[in-house]
Amino acid sequence: MKEKRLWLFYALITTVFWGVWGAFIEIPEKAGFPATLGYVVWSLTMIPCSLFALSRIGWKLDHDKRSVLLGSAVGLLGAGGQLFLFQALRQGPAYIVFPIISLYPVLTIFLSLVLLKERTHLRQWTGIILAIIAMFFLSNPQINPVSSSGIGWLILAILVFVMWALQAYAMKFSNNTMKAESIFFYMTVTALILAPVSIAMTDFTSDINWGFRGPWLAAIVQILNAIGALTLVYALRYGKAIIVVPMTGLAPVITVVISLIVYGVVPGGILLTGLIIAAVAIFLLSE
């Protein structure tokens, strides 16, 4: 495969795997396995992916100070944002939190344009704009009344928005000076370091499902997330952040399609609009 098309290959893997992950991630939680412990399982599934990646480069890890700092920053921004998201969803309404966070590619695109000087042509710019619009429609969960107090949850949601945007930018920036495999290794290390924080956030007074539909099913689902994270690093090695990030942000398209097939969910007007816009965006971005 030509190198200039490798970004599309890896970006599509990330989009599909994250889409499938999104369709099934709630099953362990609904079965009684908290999302906070799901994070711990996810951090563990990063290990085999990291070992696989390092084996591809003969275990030659970039371990100079700059690489360690950059790789750790990428990992902390991503994993740390996940922990802040847990807290935001505890305090505030999901139907506001998710749309705010889903638009993080806007900031990544801005940073990439200004700092990395990335450019593209009109067709893909149209796809980028449509992808951002589609993300907003696809990120709207079912609206249920949610009690919230103060604005702490809003601050957390905005913080996650900024952290994930910076992570995508830092991932692309790091790819210019170090191996993608090394970046993922440090992402794995930081995810594991933050696992005790996620454990501390868990309510162990509630019943927890330790059976197959708990941690074991969570592992099967979370490995999709981990693989998607690895291929995202590769996609940003070969492609522009202003194109890769919006495309992978359309993973909910796969989630919705699977939900339609498996769960018999009928999309409402908002989701259907998002699906149509996303389909056009993917076509334009994949040129």
Mean pLDDT along residues 68-95: 89
pLDDT of amino acid 234: 96
More confident residue, 20 or 96: 20
Alpha-carbon span 203 to 49, nearest angstrom: 29
The confidence band for 268, taking pLDDT boundaries of 50, 70 and 90, is confident
Alpha-carbon span 95 to 281, nearest angstrom: 23
User: Among residues of the chain, what percentage have pLDDT more than 90?
Assistant: 56
Tokens representing 146? 């949610």
Residue/partner pairs of 243-246 with CB below 8 Å, 24 or more apart? 243/7, 243/120, 243/124, 243/127, 243/128, 243/285, 244/7, 244/11, 244/172, 245/105, 245/108, 245/109, 245/168, 246/105, 246/109, 246/127, 246/128, 246/131, 246/132, 246/135, 246/281, 246/285
How many other C-beta atoms are found inside a 10 Å radius of the C-beta of residue 269?
8
On whether the CB atoms of residues 71 and 182 are closer than 8 A, the answer is yes
Mean pLDDT along residues 15-36: 91
Helix (H) or strand (E) holding 214: none
pLDDT in tens, 194-253: 999 999 999 998 899 999 999 999 999 999 999 999 999 999 999 999 999 999 988 888
Instruction: Record the pTM.
Output: 0.89
Q: How many domains does the chain have?
A: 1
pLDDT of amino acid 3: 60
Range of the domain at 124: 3-285
pLDDT of amino acid 171: 95
Mean pLDDT along residues 151-161: 88
